[in-house]
A and B are shown apart, each in its own frame.
Chain A
Amino acid sequence: MKLKQILDAIQTKLTGLPTTGSNVYQNRVYPVQQLPAINVRYGAQRMQTISTQINNTVEIFIDAFCKASESELDDTLIKIQSEVHAALMADYSQGLSFVIDTTPLGATAPEVSDQSETPTAVQVFTFAITFRHSETSLET
């Protein structure tokens, strides 16, 4: 499954970054407990048919989670964003032969909360990854 391969490749690339270490997940449902952390998930896809092939551009969302004192929240999120950007833009193919391009699309404003024992924040970084598959199958 090409889309799954992309998600796995991104998870691998983001594992071991200085700020988030091994706290890298593919999780849409459950709350994270080990922080700071990164979560990888995908969003909408746009397909463009070119002859017998399709260029499929999928939104990849990188959720950055952190828990820190109020004065350290922004610093932590900025570090995570910098490390994620460098890791994903180092190779536009993400090491996969069928990936054509990787483009950063931006980031949401940080959402901060004081409802926990330590302030928490989440920010979402969005990338567009374009990959190619056949007109008849998402897998070839």
Chain B
Amino acid sequence: MTLNDSLKALSAEFLSSDFPGYAVGVAGGREYSGIFKKAYVETNRIAGTRPLFQIVETDQLSEGDVITIESRAYTIRVIENDGAGMALLILEE
């Protein structure tokens, strides 16, 4: 097992269903467990939200893919890998 695999396995341990914000996203027929956040934001004096999904790093998802979380479809705009086994997906409705 490589260091990266170990980090991914360790990260996955934190993604339990009792963690606040836990959600399962579905993309391309696969399920991804993660932490879903949709905080209020204000940009250009426009009220909105900022949907983010933190998952274990994967090479199965690409920018532009559609992922469904809590019955709503989002387009993955940016994938930010943190180098420690986790990835933050910046989503667009």
Contacts of B77 in A (CB 8 A): 114
Chain B CB within 8 A of A113 CB: yes
Chain B CB within 8 A of A137 CB: no
Q: Please count how many residues in chain A sit with their CB below 8 Å of the partner chain's CB atoms.
A: 19
Contacts of B92 in A (CB 8 A): 69, 114, 117-119
Chain B CB within 8 A of A130 CB: no
Task: Let me know if B47 and A65 touch, CB within 8 A.
Answer: no
Task: Let me know if A122 and B41 touch, CB within 8 A.
Answer: no
Q: How far is the CB of A80 from chain B (nearest CB, A)?
A: 14
Chain B CB within 8 A of A43 CB: no
Contacts of A65 in B (CB 8 A): 44-46
Compute how far the CA of A111 lies from the CA of B43 in the bound complex, rounded to whole angstroms: 10
* Interface class of chain B by DSSP: strand
Cβ-Cβ contact count across A and B, 8 Å cutoff: 51
Partner of A115, one of B38, B45, B50: B50
**Complex interface bits, B35-74 against A, C-beta within 8 A gives 1, otherwise 0:** 0001001111111111100000000000000000000000
Task: Let me know if A122 and B45 touch, CB within 8 A.
Answer: yes
Compute how far the CA of A32 lies from the CA of B48 in the bound complex, rounded to whole angstroms: 9
Say whether, besides A115-B41, A117-B91, A31 and B50 are in contact (CB < 8 Å): no
A residues with a Cβ closer than 8 A to B are: 31-33, 35, 63, 65, 67, 69, 111, 113-122
Q: Which 5 A-B pairs have the closest CB atoms?
A: A116-B48, A113-B43, A31-B47, A122-B44, A117-B93
11 contacts between A and B (CB under 8 A): A115-B41, A116-B48, A117-B48, A117-B50, A117-B51, A117-B91, A118-B48, A118-B92, A120-B43, A121-B44, A122-B44
